[in-house]
Amino acid sequence: MSDTDYGPSNMRKTLIGRSLLGCIAVFASALALMILVATIAMRAAPSPDDRLRAVVLMIAVAGVALIACVGFVLRRYGRLVNEPVELIRPAPELHGELATTNTQRNQLETVLSSMVEGVIVLDGTRRIVSINEAAADLLGVSPDEGSGKSLLQYVRNAEFDELAEAAATNRGPVERTITLYREQTIYLQVHATRIHPDSESLPGGILLVMNNISRIKQLEMVRTDFVANVSHELKTPVTSIKGFVETLLDDPFISPEQSERFLNIVLKHTNRLNNILEDLLSLSRLEQPDQEIEFSRCSSEEIIDTALEICKSKATAKEMEISRKFRGPTTIRANPSLLEQAVLNLVDNAIKYSNNGSEVAITVTNGSGVLLISVEDHGQGIRNQNLPRVFERFYRTDKARSRELGGTGLGLAIVKHIARLHRGDVSVESTLGQGSTFTISLPQANLEEDHAGDNPG
């Protein structure tokens, strides 16, 4: 039996033909039987009553014949309907194949929905067949509204459509970095591949796979900026040192006074180089991903006093007063040396950028599971647009003055990393022309309160 014997058209023709033939045969038989019975009855009946009984008998026989005819038709019709169905009923092997197909489809849908990469499947006309959650999140669209829409209509970015078109005309895959300009710029690496039609002549399409490389791009920009800033910061003192040393070597008749002045300038720039290198090394150690620090119970009062002792000479030279105030327990949980370095950097900056004769106030508040160390100055202040960037490496609000005062541009970046190593943070509030307040916030949840060391300051 060929595969076409039980097609819909042939099955219908066979069913109708056989049913009609069966009906004709049954009715013909019933009619012949009725005529035969009627003839015999009429000949054998001697009286009208006998003929009446013969007619009744004929009617009864006709009824039986009619019932037999209907039963025969229904039985035959049922067989004709069931025969093709029995022939096309799935075999156990087909049941297994269908179950395997469903399982594979469910597994594929699970894989697509759990992928970090965004995946979009297009048909031959670049209309969306499927899109996973990751792709919808990256593009800022709803995955339920994409099916059947054109890629350009759904994504509203011509670069995606151009990439899909390039993949459709090229033999190999096509790759491109696409930038989405939103509140935060998103960089997507998109890989487009042509899906060739299969053996059953199903239409082909395009497969788009996208990865969010924004973090990598940001790190590349940070690295580029860092190299440029380091080069610039080191170039200035190196150039100055080189120039003055060459002057001393080229002029054997230079006076002792000039030699001393030149050597002092060389020493100043050498110290600056040394400070930059030391800060770079400190920052490098603090930025190690596996960096672990040891915490201990220590005294915030001792940490503040040690930092103030180091800055005392600078404050005296500018006739500045530094006050300190402690609120709550002075026993804290921290790394004493790192926290001392962070406080020292903040106090040193406050002295540098404050006017002569002004005051710097340090306030330490320990309560509600948080340690707050605030350093307030009355200097020139910081513009609002500069506040978000003051903790970046080598970022200066006043570059010329910062270098003149000996700043490396790394002090606040070091403070930020020390705070984060303590699982805390640092913030700044500032008013231009009035001053700034930097606040280190460190959690103290794992330290039992100890009021024995309270000091009102």
Mean pLDDT by 10 residues, the chain (457 residues): 48 55 63 64 61 65 65 62 55 66 62 73 86 86 80 86 88 88 88 76 77 87 76 80 87 86 88 80 75 86 92 90 92 91 91 89 92 92 86 71 62 90 92 91 66 37
Query: Beta-carbon neighbour count of residue 19 at 10 Å?
Result: 15
pLDDT at site 419 = 92
pLDDT at site 331 = 92
pLDDT at site 449 = 41
Query: Beta-carbon neighbour count of residue 11 at 10 Å?
Result: 18
- Burial (Cβ within 10 Å: 0-12, 13-18, ≥19) of residue 264: exposed
C-alpha to C-alpha distance for 410 and 12, rounded to whole angstroms: 88
C-alpha to C-alpha distance for 455 and 366, rounded to whole angstroms: 11
pLDDT at site 401 = 53
pLDDT at site 2 = 46
C-alpha to C-alpha distance for 97 and 155, rounded to whole angstroms: 37
pLDDT at site 185 = 87
pLDDT at site 355 = 86
pLDDT at site 251 = 83
Which of 17, 22, 104, 117 has the alpha carbon at shortest distance from 68?
Answer: 22
Which spans in 89-120 are helix H?
92-114
H helix or E strand, kind and range, residue 221 = helix 214-250
pLDDT at site 92 = 63
